Every structure is written in structure tokens, then in C-alpha cells.
Amino acid sequence: MHKPPVVLSIAGSDCSSGAGIQADLKAFSYFGTHGLTAITCVVAETPNEVISIHPVPPAVLQDQIRILLETYQIKAIKTGMLYSKQHIVAITELLQQQPIPIIVDPVMVASSGAHLLKDDAVEAYVSRLLPIAQLVTPNLAEASVLLGQDIVQLEQMDDAAQEIGSIYNISCLIKGGHLPAGNERIDVLWHEGKIHHFSAPTVEINSTHGTGCTLSAAITANLSRGLSIPEAIQTAKHWVHSAISESFQFSSPDGEQVQALNQLSPDSLNL
């Protein structure tokens, strides 16, 4: 029997399953990989709000990662919500000597506006994690934090992606989902000395909860399958655009509308 590539997500748990570990596992499964998880924190949230964040002790996080590294031949690792400097240090202590591609989604702020990263964690990102990673996928706000300047326009994205990539010797994909409204949503990749643009038609929906997690997880899965970084991004972006276009809308018991990406495979819709 064909054995799928094994991939690992190190991230927070989202009880609404729209983002975090749960979204990553859906993406991993969709693209035919076997997903492992190491949980950094448990988040009580929905696409509309975050009410509490409960960190997992860093030693327990290390236990999760260590036993997975000892048990599986992991082809790629994705990091999501890492919460604090202590969690980043715990992760990098184990990963810095591992010859495994690391994809960093620098989760800092939820779509609802809630802060998901302690202030002291940014320095640990830039000094410890990014130097050992192969790809980082910030949105505009996260790119602004990494560079210490506001990145708010399409015209700034090429230079910002190149600067982040050059500083950390890393490929950098800046996501343009928060650009001012237009007909296209454009992401910019700096990779091996070249700029690449990826575009998709704008989809007007109320919530984009989980799009960043889902995109970076899909990229990770496709890298583990042997695709290049540009190929993996193109494949992932096409799928995420479909997931946004075909989003589900649920109603709470009180009648509040809750939106969710459609991360199901086409075949599963016919069950």
C-alpha cells in the first residue's frame, strides 16, 4: 500500500475547527498526507470572537515534538500559533538540527482582531525560528511587524518580500488578502532571487477565519509531495480560493451567522 508523506503542524487548537491544528489536518488530509500535531495552546474561539487562550506548558510541547521526531520520518513541518517566547525557544531547541523543511505562518492576530502572540515572542521569531526555516507566510500586518514599518499597499509588497527574504535567507510569501478592495487578491513571493505574483479573484465574504492557516498547511503538504515552493503555493492558493468561494454559513442557536471555509474534498460532498 502507498504510504503518504508525513507532515507535522505545531500550532494552537481552534475549537471551532476553522483555523489552527484542526484546519491544518483538513488540508493535510485533502492533499494526501498523514498529519501529525503538536499543540501549543488551546483557544476557545469561533470565527467571530476569541474568548480565552490557554497555553500548553513548553515542556509538554517539547514532549509532543520529541516523540514525533523519534517515531516518524517527517517530510515537512508547519508552525502556526506559537504564543510566547518560551514556546518558540522550546520548538527551536528541537528543530534547529533537523534537516526538515520548516514553513512558518507567523500567527499574530486573529481575523476577529484578538492578539494571539505575546509581545516578547516577536524577537524569538526573528532570532531563533526564521533563520532555520525555508518559507515564511506573513499577511500585511505580520510583515509590518517583522520589518518594523507599515506595509499597506500592493506597491510595497515586492520590496517587503525581498527584504524579509534577504534578512533571514528565506523564501517569503506576503499575503495580500487585507489589501484595499479590488477585483484581484495578490500574494507576492520572494524565492531564489526572484519575485513571483499569485492572483485570484476577490470573493466578498463576511469572515476569512482560517485562510492563513489553511494556505500554509496546504503549501506544507504539497512541499512534502515534492512540489517546488512556487508550485506548492500555486496549488494551495487555487484550493483555498475554492474553499473561500464555497464557504459554508451556519446559524447559531441565537440566529448569529457563522461562516466557515469549505475544506471538504469534492468527493465528500456526494456522501
Q: Which residues are catalytic?
A: 175, 208, 210-213
Q: 259: which strand partners?
A: 249
First CA to last CA distance, the chain? 24
Amino acid at 85: K
For residues 174 and 43, give the distance between their C-alpha atoms in angstroms, rounded to a whole number: 25
Grid cell listed for 63: 514532549
Among candidates 242, 253, 260, 251, which has minimal Cα distance to 206? 260
Give how far Cα 50 sits from Cα of 14, 84, 110, Å. Answer: 10, 17, 8
The percent helix, strand, coil of the chain (3-state, each to 5) is 40, 25, 35
Burial track 123-147 (b if 16+ CB lie within 10 A, e otherwise)? ebbbebbbebbbbbbbbbebbbbbb
Question: Residue 17: left if φ>0, alpha if ψ -120 to 50, beta else—which one?
Answer: left
Question: Residue 30: left if φ>0, alpha if ψ -120 to 50, beta else—which one?
Answer: alpha
* Residue in the structure block whose three cell numbers are 523543511: 101
Amino acid at 192: E
Grid cell listed for 231: 508550485
